[in-house]
Amino acid sequence: MVCGVALSLAACAHLETSTEKGGVVTVSATPGAVGRAFAGRRLALIIGVNQVADERFRPLRFAHKDAFDLATVLQDRAYGNYDSVTVLTSPEQTTRDALRAAVSKLAAEATRPEDVVVLYVSAHGTLARDARGNLRRYLVSSDANFRKVSETALPIDELTSLLDASGSRRRVIVLATCHSGSGKSLLPSEVEAEIASMKGPMMRPLEEASRASIVLSASDWGETAREDETLQNDIYTHFLIEALSGTGDRNGDGAVTATEAHDYARRRTWVFSEGRQRPSAEILEVGADPVVLSGAIRRSGQPELYSYAPRLDGFTLRIDGETRTDLPGGVALPAGGHHVELTKGEEILLKDDLSLETGQRLDLEQLVERHEPSTAVSLIGGAFSFLDAKSRAEVLPPSASVGVSIRADHVLLKRVALEADFSAFGGSQTLQLATGGAIPFSYTSILAGGSALVSWDWKLISLWAGPRVAGLWVQRSFNLQAYQGNQSAFSITPGLHLGGAVRFTTHWELSVNLQTMLTVLTLDGKSQLLGFAGGWAGVGYRY
């Protein structure tokens, strides 16, 4: 790219002597200068709120220091080398409106996808119900009111929304706040009581996730972010600064990426706080393109394995038989062959031999997906019935069926599945004709079809729905004193398919499928449009 631009400029230079209108003006541009002009800039907005006007929020000791310490390392040419670092700490700079304006300005300045944008906040955080009754996280601005949080403080998700307006695809939000009601948080008593009544971990609200943003939190929901007297900083911030000072360069490529810095700070925070503070990360659509926060990539680094996917939280990554880290997080390894395992207790989610190359970054979630069973073969049993009473009485009563189905998940697209099924049913039934009398007969039916499904997958449960087409063949055999004979009919039946499965082990699942279909059946020489439906349950083996 750079060479191309330089060659273009050189070629244009031949027109220098032209006197024609619109001639090219010579400029001095070396390839290095052109490269720098097109390189992404590094912009940071750093916010520290020690004191809130409402004294019910007790003062923080190190929020300003956190901000200035981080600014120092980001401005340092040996480390951050940022083009612009803005620090806001005074009460008038950290009101809700001032913060909104500052974040909007930051978003407007970052115009290019390769620009790196860092928004750091060290302040009180709190939780409150918004006007719609949803529990949201708030950043306590200097003018926030303890009793009117939703009206006076700044919603955390608004920060990500404001940054979404920027042209950058490398956005990092670092929240050195917490929302647990202790440490750097203070909650109204009713919110405290509400949180106390919740069982299990609190759900992270979806609005936190922002396109192409990394949100790094000093503590997980419901945990406490702490300042520490000996460190003279917020604990997480202290180790984050340490990471950005070069020690966080896990793979040795010369740069500290956002995930490297977070992993470094996360582990040390966890150890330092003796497990009481567990920093978290929300990472979306960043892919293999690392967001470099400090330093520069000068060489190919060691290969890395990482995952920040919530579904892998708590799994342990073992490399060549040794425990290396708990997820979320990542490790750098020497290039070459490695035996990789992902385990949680007795459960082994992944076991694979990988050959890793220098500079390679491998997302463990993608690796797991490649190894996850994606095809299920099931034995199914169920029942089938026409929807209208007349057809049930005069064509075929509700009947049992057994069969087999095969479903391939993630076909072409992650949420697309294809399913094919074959079921047959037969036996004895009785027609109830309008002319009176019960007519015994035997029947055989075969239903074979396929469905294109959109699926929604959770850890143990999948649901799917989609269009379907099948062929239905029905044969009725009568062996009456006055009438003996076989009758058969075939038709193509389009319809809808709904279903779901519960995976009770890696390879076994219980599935339920409901299908409704339309068919045209000729009865006594007249074609009739009929609806029928079936429900099947099955046990499937996934491979």
Partner 1 sequence: MRAILPAVVCGLALSACGGLENEPLGYGLIRGALVGGSSSSTVSVYGSPDLIVSPDSTGHFSLRVPVGQMDVLALISSTAAARIPVQVPGGGVADLGTQIGAPPGVLELELKAPSHQALTKGSVKAEGTPLSIRLEEAGEWVFRLPVGCYQVQGSVPGLGTISTQGCAVEGHHSEIEFRFPEPDGSAGREGCAVTGCDPGYVCQASGACIL
Residues that bind partner 1 (CB under 8 A): 394-395, 431, 433, 435-437, 439, 474, 476, 478, 480-483, 485, 487-494, 518-525, 527, 529
Closest distance of CB 515 from partner 1, Å? 16
- By C-beta, is 60 or 395 nearer to partner 1? 395
Query: Which of 491/516 has CB closer to partner 1?
Result: 491
- Within 13 Å of residue 275, how many CA atoms lie on the same side as its CB? 0
Q: Which amino acid is at 282?
A: E
What is the Cα–Cα distance from 261 to 500, expressed in whole angstroms? 40
Q: How far is the CB of 440 from partner 1 (least distance, A)?
A: 9
Helices (runs of H) and strands (runs of E) counted in the chain: 11, 28
Greatest Cα pair distance, the chain, in angstroms, is 111
Please provide residue 239's backbone torsions phi and psi, each rounded to the nearest 5 degrees.
-75, -25
CB of 439 to partner 1, least distance (A): 5
DSSP conformation letters of 144-165: --TT-HHHHSEEHHHHHHHHHT
Cα–Cα nearest to 69, from 57, 93, 85, 90: 85
Check residue 63 and give left, alpha or beta (phi > 0: left; psi -120 to 50: alpha). Answer: alpha
Nearer to partner 1, 322 or 524 (CB): 524
41 secondary structure, DSSP code: P
> Residue 271 or 433: which CB sits closer to partner 1?
433
Q: Is 376 or 530 the residue whose CB approaches partner 1 more closely?
A: 530
Coil, helix or strand for 498?
strand
Gyration radius from the chain CA atoms? 32
Which is closer to partner 1, CB of 400 or CB of 492?
A: 492
Q: How many CA atoms lie within 13 A of 237 on its CB side?
A: 36
98 membership: H or E segment, kind and range: helix 96-109
CB of 535 to partner 1, least distance (A): 22
Complex with partner 1: residue 203 or 434, whichever CB lies closer: 434
Q: Provide the minimum distance between the beta carbon of 294 and partner 1 in the complex, in angstroms, as a whole number.
A: 60
- What span, in angstroms and rounded, lies between the C-alpha atoms of 380 and 497? 15
Do 304 and 332 form a contact (C-beta atoms < 8 A)? yes
Residue 493: CB minimum distance to partner 1, A: 8
**Nearest CB to partner 1, comparing residues 119 and 395:** 395
Smallest separation (angstroms) from partner 1 to the CB of 517: 10
Rank residues 215 and 396 by Cβ distance to partner 1 and give the closer one.
Answer: 396
The β-bridge partners of 514 are 498, 535
Does residue 9 sit in helix, strand or coil? Answer: helix
Q: Which amino acid is at 159?
A: L
497: its two tokens: 């398919």
CA–CA separation, 300 vs 329, rounded Å? 20
Q: How far is the CB of 471 from partner 1 (least distance, A)?
A: 9
CB of 466 to partner 1, least distance (A): 17
Structure tokens at 159: 């920060």
- Closest distance of CB 476 from partner 1, Å: 6
CB closer to partner 1, 232 vs 487: 487
Nearer to partner 1, 147 or 390 (CB): 390
Count Cα neighbours of 292 within 13 Å in the Cβ-side half-sphere. Answer: 22
Enumerate the β-bridge partners of residue 527. Answer: 522
Output 280 or 493, the one with its CB closest to partner 1. Answer: 493
Smallest distance, partner 1 to C-beta of residue 450, A: 15
Instruction: Classify burial at 158, counting beta carbons within 10 Å of its beta carbon; exposed 0-12, middle 13-18, buried 19 or more.
Output: middle
Q: How far is the CB of 473 from partner 1 (least distance, A)?
A: 8
From the number of C-beta atoms within 10 Å of its C-beta (0-12, 13-18, 19+), residue 310 rates as: middle
Distance CA 478, CA 455 (A): 43
Closest to partner 1 by CB, 13 vs 480, is 480
- For residue 525, the minimal CB distance to partner 1 (Å) is 7
Residue 498, phi then psi, degrees to nearest 5: -125, 145
Nearest Cα to Cα of residue 123 among 44, 49, 51: 49
